[in-house]
Structure formats: structure tokens, C-alpha cells
Amino acid sequence: MLRSLRSLLAIAIPALLLLLFGWVALCFLNRWDGMVPFTLVPIWAWAGLGMTGAALSWIMGSHRLSFFVFLLWLLTGVIASDETPGLFRGFLSALSAGKRPADLSPAGSGESRPNRLRVVTLNCALGNSDAAAQVRQFAPDIVLLQEAPSERRLAELAYDIWGADGTLLRSERCAILARGRLSQIYTEPVTSSLCATLRIPGGPEIDIVNCHLHRALPRFDLWKRECWEALSGVRVENRRLLRSLLDSLPERGNRVPRIAAGDFGAPPSDDIFRLLRNADYLDSFHEVGRGWGNTFPSAQSLLRIDQIWSSPGLAPRSSEAARAEPSDHRMVVTEFSVE
């Protein structure tokens, strides 16, 4: 009897895991708002669940279907995970140099970066000025802060980085600091997200969107109706907010490059990023990032909710995530070529 049960489970478990695979694939391909609790869970976590179940099934009956299901989930986790490209590039970089890419080296070398633009985004964790001060080490040209410190602290930081060439704009919770002259376009009233135009001396004019959207993270109470309603509602609201920010930018075609960055509150698997892809923006870390790009929470960094996107005219060259103690987020640093 026990042997028959083990044989049955050895077939039933991988069959159920195949059904789960099909359902997860459908959810990630379609990104339905009603299924957002499924797609907020990273694909590598689903792959880990599927591989564990297949391994247990193999122990029970050594059925070849278990091996096939294990391999299917393994390949899915490796190929479809957002983290894979950055880890692969980081591995190749470590083999060739064993150190941080030269074009993202900290300040102090006096290096010249002609036709380059370095952008940093960081959630400062309730206005922590010590966290914000850590952007200086990367000698940025543009800094986007969420939960920003006081205007006095920001003015000091801008002067420390750029001297008299520094400028800043601050809303209730967000700030943009840069080398050049900033002109405010729009402040979103719900989240205080900022839109501005930057004119860099001797450089290009750039439209900038500093996003601080509502938090939409995986939850473990999926049996509750409130969980589904809350996460679906946040998805719909964040899509509306991001659309309003992008629509606030002046109509310029592709004549003026644009940057949309900040704390998007959700990992790249969320459907809100379809708005940016449809507008021809590129996710800089996905394109060129090296290493572990996840940014939240800082200590474990399981989710990449802090991102930097760019429109045509700014080509990402290097990107990475870096610790910014004592913030609960990591900062994202991206260097672009100005085309």
C-alpha cells in the first residue's frame, strides 16, 4: 500500500508542478491586474518551489517525469530571472578584472568623462542625510533622491559635489540635484514625485522624472481577499501615477533625451513598466548592469524596486547597485553615453 502511494505521488506531484508552471507562465506573460500577487513573487522563487517539489518527487519514486520537471523549473529560473544578466556580466567582469568597472570608479581619480553622464538614485529612508551624502563617492552629474533630507542639507550636498555649478529642486518628499540649471515641470500631488528639465553647461538638455510610487511587494497572506484587492489597487494606482508623470513632460519627440528613475515601489515583473517600454525607455541595469542589482531591503536585497530608465539619446554603458548605509535601500548608479 505504501509503495503504491509513493508511486502515485511520484507521478501526481510533478504533474501538479507542470500545471503550476503553466499557470505561472500565463500570469507572467499577461500580467493581469487581478493576478498581481503571483507576479510580484520573483520568478526564481517560483522556480525554487518547483525544483524542491520535483526533487522530493524524485526521492519518492525516481520517475523520469520528476527529472524533466526539475530541469524545466531550473532553466526557467536561470533564463527568466531578472537577476541573471547582471550576475553573468559580474562573473565575466570578475574573471577579466576582479574589481569594480573602471567607468563606475569612485571619485578622486580626477578622470574626465567626455560625453558621459552619471546618474544616481537613492531612497534616503525618511530623510537620512548620512545616506544621501554617500552619493558623492560616485561623482554624479544627476542625483535623484526619494524621502529626501531637508533643503539645507541638500544645498550643502550639491555644493560639495559641484560647487557653484550645483542646483536642486525639492518637493515634499523627493529631490533632484544636478550640475547645471534645473527647471521644474511638474510635482505629482499624491507622491511628491518630481519632473524637471536640466540644462547642463556645454552639454545636453534632459527631461528628468524622479518617481516615488506606492510600495507593492510580495505578501504571504494570499488566502485573504484583502491582500488581492490591496495589491491590485496599488498596481492600478501606480500605473495611473506613472502615466501622469510621463504625460507631464513636454512633447519633444526624440530631440531631448529623458531619464525616469527612482523608487518605483515594485520589482521589474510589475506591469507598470510596460508604460516605459512602450515609450522606448531602456532599463539601464537590465541592459548593462553588473553584479547583484536588487536594492530592497538593503541587507538582503531580494527585490529591484529602485531603477534608472532612459530614452533614446542616452545609451547605458555601466550600472550597478551599491550600499548606502543607513538607508534600507541600495543606490543605483548608471553611466550613460550622450548620443
* Mean pLDDT (whole number) for 127-135: 95
**What is residue 254's predicted lDDT score, i.e. its pLDDT?**
76
Helices (H), the chain: 2-30, 36-39, 43-61, 64-80, 84-96, 129-133, 151-162, 225-248, 274-278, 284-288
Question: Is residue 165 in a domain?
Answer: yes
Tell me the pLDDT band of 110, cut-offs 50, 70 and 90: very low
* Last residue of one domain, picked from the residues 33, 56, 81: 81
Whether 147 and 239 share a structural domain: yes
Question: Is residue 38 in a domain?
Answer: yes
Whether 62 and 207 share a structural domain: no
**What is residue 109's predicted lDDT score, i.e. its pLDDT?**
38
Whether 217 and 154 share a structural domain: yes
- Going from the C-alpha of 246 to that of each of 26, 255, 308, the distances in angstroms are 29, 16, 14
Asked if pLDDT for residue 114 goes beyond 70, the answer is: no
Dihedral angle sign, alpha carbons of residues 253, 255, 256, 262: positive
**What is residue 102's predicted lDDT score, i.e. its pLDDT?**
47
* Last residue of one domain, picked from the residues 81, 108, 126: 81
CA distance 234 to 10: 40
Strand partners, 194: 187, 210
Asked if pLDDT for residue 167 goes beyond 60, the answer is: yes
Tell me the pLDDT band of 103, cut-offs 50, 70 and 90: low
Whether 20 and 146 share a structural domain: no
Whether 52 and 131 share a structural domain: no
Contact 321, 285 (CB under 8 A): yes
Asked if pLDDT for residue 105 goes beyond 80, the answer is: no
**What is residue 59's predicted lDDT score, i.e. its pLDDT?**
81
If 0-12 CB within 10 Å is exposed, 13-18 middle and 19+ buried, where does residue 253 land? exposed
Q: Which domain CATH number covers 292?
A: 3.60.10.10
**What is residue 169's predicted lDDT score, i.e. its pLDDT?**
97
Whether 246 and 315 share a structural domain: yes
Whether 138 and 27 share a structural domain: no
Q: Tell me which of 75-79, 174-178, 307-311, 323-327 is least confident.
A: 323-327
Whether 125 and 186 share a structural domain: yes
* Mean pLDDT (whole number) for 191-198: 96
Question: Is residue 167 in a domain?
Answer: yes
Report the chain's mean pLDDT, rounded to a whole number: 90
Whether 7 and 109 share a structural domain: no
Give Cβ neighbours of residue 331 (< 8 Å, ≥ 6 apart): 120, 121, 122, 134, 135, 295, 306, 321, 322, 323, 324
Question: Is residue 133 in a domain?
Answer: yes
Q: Tell me which of 72-76, 210-214, 249-253 is least confident.
A: 249-253
Residue range(s) defining the domain that contains residue 184: 96-338
Whether 76 and 118 share a structural domain: no
Q: Tell me which of 62-76, 92-106, 154-168, 201-215 is least confident.
A: 92-106
Q: Percent of the chain beyond pLDDT 70?
A: 91
- The total number of structural domains in the chain stands at 2
* Mean pLDDT (whole number) for 104-117: 60
Question: Is residue 229 in a domain?
Answer: yes
Please, what's the b/e burial string for 287-307 (b: 16 or more CB within 10 A of its CB; e: otherwise)? ebbbbebbbbebeebbbbbbb
Question: Is residue 205 in a domain?
Answer: yes
* Mean pLDDT (whole number) for 121-137: 95
Question: Is residue 87 in a domain?
Answer: no
**What is residue 58's predicted lDDT score, i.e. its pLDDT?**
84
CA distance 54 to 65: 9
Asked if pLDDT for residue 98 goes beyond 70, the answer is: no
**What is residue 13's predicted lDDT score, i.e. its pLDDT?**
85
* Last residue of one domain, picked from the residues 47, 81, 115: 81
Whether 265 and 155 share a structural domain: yes
Q: Tell me which of 90-94, 104-108, 173-177, 292-296 is least confident.
A: 104-108
pLDDT in tens, 172-185: 999 999 999 999 99
Helices (H) and strands (E) in the chain, counts: 10, 12
Whether 35 and 170 share a structural domain: no
Q: Tell me which of 94-103, 114-123, 268-277 is least confident.
A: 94-103
Tell me the pLDDT band of 108, cut-offs 50, 70 and 90: very low
Question: Is residue 158 in a domain?
Answer: yes
